[in-house]
Amino acid sequence: MRKAFSVDNVLNAKFNRLEFEGKWLEAVGRPELAGTWFIQGDIKNGKTSLSMQLTKYLTHFSRVAYNSVEEGLSATIQEAYIRESMQDVAGKFLLLDKESPDELIVRLKKHKSPQIIVIDTVQFWDLKWSEYKKLKALFPKKLFIYVSHLDGKKPAGSVALKIWRDANVAWFVEGFKAFPVGRYGGGEPVIINQKLADAYWGLENN
């Protein structure tokens, strides 16, 4: 039988909350360094750029492993690194080249493994729902960020849809703006690229 918590237990519980500032505080609030985040959007709307910007900021709090399942080590990933000046966080940001769920588990069981893990994209990882739950159970103090393609306005595939529903923070990316919904407050959109966002939303001449 699982443990039951008294009111005092709940009120006095301590959580590893991140002291976000600026636009990230306005977007997300003060999230925990644990659980699931989800980024979804159509192609060429800024998903990868948002993922890089967000995880670059998260390196202020812990190391990041970015599992590039779809593209791997490629020219497009290199371009994203250059565009977002990822050299600024060298030593805190690790690119994984299409690691499978089993390979990732081996890595994360190692001493001092990264605390924040990005999966880009969930559709190319062929992840089962049972494997998703296993990852959460094995590493309850790590933060997993899943990047997803769309089918219409929802995540593509049943597993991605379930992960989206389970996420503590979910981002919808469109026209180089990211619209967050989360359990920690916030809610203000983030501009991924001002010039491209203005062009998409018809604000160039305003």
Note the pLDDT tens digit of each residue in 114-150.
Answer: 999 999 999 999 899 999 999 999 999 999 999 999 9
Looking at domain 21-200, its CATH architecture is 3-Layer(aba) Sandwich (3.40)
Assigned token pair, 119: 């999966």
Q: Strands 169-174 and 35-41: what pairing?
A: parallel
Does residue 184 surpass a pLDDT of 90?
yes
Q: What is the CA radius of gyration of the chain?
A: 17
Q: For residues 36 and 17, which has the higher predicted lDDT (pLDDT)?
A: 36
- pLDDT for residue 206 is more than 70: no
Helix or strand run (H / E) with residue 176 = none
Grade residue 1 by pLDDT with cuts at 50, 70 and 90. confident
Residue 16 has pLDDT above 90, yes or no: no
> Where exactly are the structural domains of the chain?
21-200
Question: Which residues lie closer than 8 Å to 78 by C-beta, 6 or more apart?
Answer: none
pLDDT exceeds cutoff 80 at 203: no
- Specify the range with the lowest mean pLDDT, choosing from 12-16, 144-148, 170-174: 12-16
Residue 159's Cβ-count burial label (10 Å; 0-12, 13-18, 19+) is buried
Of the chain, the percentage scoring pLDDT greater than 70 comes to 99
| pLDDT single digits (tens) 69-89 | 998 999 999 999 999 999 999
**Start-to-end C-alpha separation, the chain:** 61
Q: What does 46-103 look like in DSSP terms, one character per residue? A: SHHHHHHHHHHHHTTTS-EEEEETTT-S-HHHHHHHHHTTGGGGTTTEEEEES--HHH
Q: Considering Cα of 74, then 75, then 79, then 82, what sign does the dihedral take?
A: positive
Note the pLDDT of residue 15. 83
Instruction: Please indicate whether residue 204 or residue 34 has the higher confidence score (pLDDT).
Output: 34
177: left (phi over 0), alpha (psi -120 to 50) or beta: beta
DSSP alpha helices (H): ranges in the chain? 7-12, 22-28, 47-58, 75-83, 101-108, 129-138, 158-166, 194-200
Q: List the single range of 7-21, 112-126, 153-167, 172-186 with lowest mean pLDDT.
A: 7-21
**What is the residue-averaged pLDDT of the chain?**
94
Mean pLDDT along residues 149-160: 95
Statement: residue 204 has pLDDT above 70: no
- Tell me what percent of the residues of the chain surpass a pLDDT of 90: 87
Which residue from 63, 188, 183, 45 is spatially nearest to 118, judged by alpha carbons? 63
